[in-house]
């Protein structure tokens, strides 16, 4: 049987390497010696209990460390254990996550906490199969919890680790391809198996730290890398070309209109999105995509006229659109939007939710902060705070003309 500590890699056809194999034990020893010198002091590293590791790993998915730190600290102050998370109301949960994005992560955290309370007596399980059965926990998160919190020899493969492995082993195929993904998991598993007993978590942390601080996208800082002597891509001069990235399709862009509907009592109309789907459970000012929606194509209508019709068809109320508050550009994972918001006057009808929204509410401006909003609508709120007197005056003038 071959020695698992030695991973032989094929020679690239375009150049001759200085090295033809990477020894796992050398990689492990170098990383474990390097980590204490560079390890960042992060709040989730000060406590390695399973709940804190779990929360931090979910928050860090597609989110920068500096952004996560204050959210993590506030989250643990608000939900110090699995029981308190499981019992939280939806608004309390989403308000704690407000602005962090990818809100399904928060909902899955709570669903998983509720499952842990029901199935495991409120204790996060230490078995891989049990973790993978929980909502929102995939192979990477399970590996992080098991290695960092329980000291088990389980691999992790996030963006940083993927980039490190693609360079160290000079992987010349797209890491998103299923066959390459399987190869990378195998390589990561080989490394944790080569780590001293109980140090798989430190090794995984070192791999993630290396990708975050040294083996960065584009041009890595090879002169500061503890693996420079064994890195195949560096030896072949192709480190800037790894990982290989497939050509991405153009990102779609959509125009969205939002109605800032003000009633006679000076309250704004807000609506809660359905629990499932994009931004599920969050509140927003009634809005609609202009290109295509349940109201049909916008055709030749102006954006304000389209918004008036869409609000009538979706909520059953009549409004008059006045001055535009502003426009906000925002990028989601797979598309971009430009959001145009308009001061609107309520003319009649009682808002209903029909099938588009889960709930509606008239809310005084000073109370809007109690509701969880997505980032784009948080920006609208900030604009409203700055321009409220102007908006009300413009709206009053416009409404008087409408009547």
Q: Which residues are catalytic?
A: 57
Could you tell me if residue 286 is left (phi over 0), alpha (psi between -120 and 50 degrees) or otherwise beta? beta
DSSP 165: H
Q: What is the helix, strand, coil percentage profile of the chain, to 5?
A: 45, 15, 40
Strands (DSSP E) contained in 136-272 are 253-262, 268-272
Q: Would you state the structure tokens that stand for residue 265, as one six-digit string? A: 């009592």
From 179, 188, 180, select the one nearest 161 (Cα to Cα). Answer: 188
Q: Would you state the structure tokens that stand for residue 392, as one six-digit string? A: 């009300």
The Cα-based distances of 55 to 105, 109, 117 in angstroms read 10, 8, 16
- For residue 276, the tally of other CB atoms under 10 A from its CB is 10
DSSP 81: S
Q: How many CA atoms lie within 13 A of 11 on its CB side?
A: 8
Going by their DSSP bridges, the two strands 336-348 and 318-331 should be labelled as: antiparallel
Contact between 141 and 193 (Cβ < 8 Å): no
Phi and psi for 326 in degrees, rounded to 5? 165, -175
The Cα-based distances of 113 to 85, 137, 301 in angstroms read 7, 11, 47
The Cα-based distances of 261 to 287, 344, 352 in angstroms read 11, 5, 14
- For residue 401, the tally of other CB atoms under 10 A from its CB is 9
Q: Hunting for tokens 């643990």 — which residue is that?
A: 76
**What whole-number distance in Å separates Cα of residue 239 and Cα of residue 324?**
49
Contact between 71 and 109 (Cβ < 8 Å): no
The Cα-based distances of 349 to 128, 316, 318 in angstroms read 54, 6, 6
């Amino acid at each position: 049987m071959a020695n698992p500590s030695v991973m032989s890699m094929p020679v690239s056809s375009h150049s001759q390497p200085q090295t033809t194999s990477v020894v796992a034990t050398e990689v492990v020893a170098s990383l474990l010696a390097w980590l204490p010198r560079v390890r960042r002091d992060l709040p989730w590293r000060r406590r390695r209990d399973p709940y804190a590791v779990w929360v931090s790993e979910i928050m860090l998915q597609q989110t920068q460390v500096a952004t996560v730190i204050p959210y993590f600290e506030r989250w643990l102050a608000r939900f110090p254990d699995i029981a308190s998370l499981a019992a939280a109301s939806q608004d309390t949960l989403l308000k704690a996550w407000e602005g962090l994005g990818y809100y399904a992560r928060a909902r899955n955290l709570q669903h998983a906490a509720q499952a842990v309370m029901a199935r495991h007596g409120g204790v996060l399980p230490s078995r891989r199969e049990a973790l993978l059965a929980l909502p929102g926990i995939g192979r990477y998160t399970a590996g992080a919890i098991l290695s960092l919190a329980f000291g088990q020899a389980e691999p992790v493969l996030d963006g940083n680790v993927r980039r490190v492995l693609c360079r160290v082993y000079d992987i010349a195929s797209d890491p998103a391809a299923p066959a390459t993904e399987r190869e990378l998991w195998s390589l990561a598993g080989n490394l944790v198996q080569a780590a001293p007993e109980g140090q798989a978590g430190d090794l995984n942390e070192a791999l993630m730290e290396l990708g975050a601080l040294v083996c960065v996208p584009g041009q890595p800082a090879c002169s500061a890398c503890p693996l420079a002597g064994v890195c195949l891509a560096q030896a072949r001069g192709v480190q800037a070309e790894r990982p290989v990235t497939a050509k991405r399709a153009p990102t779609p862009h959509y125009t969205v209109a939002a109605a800032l509907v003000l009633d006679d009592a000076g309250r704004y109309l807000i609506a809660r999105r359905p629990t499932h789907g994009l931004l599920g459970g969050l509140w927003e000012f009634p809005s609609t995509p202009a290109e295509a929606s349940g109201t049909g194509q916008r055709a030749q209508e102006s954006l304000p006229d389209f918004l008036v019709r869409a609000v009538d068809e979706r909520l059953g109320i009549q409004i008059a659109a006045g001055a535009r508050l502003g426009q906000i550009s925002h990028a989601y994972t797979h598309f971009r939007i430009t959001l145009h918001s308009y001061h609107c006057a309520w003319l009649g009808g009682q808002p209903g939710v029909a099938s588009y929204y889960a709930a509606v509410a008239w809310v005084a401006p000073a109370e809007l902060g109690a509701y969880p909003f997505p980032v784009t609508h948080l920006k609208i709120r900030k604009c409203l705070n700055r321009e409220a007197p102007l908006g009300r005056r413009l709206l009053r003038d416009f409404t008087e003309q409408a009547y």
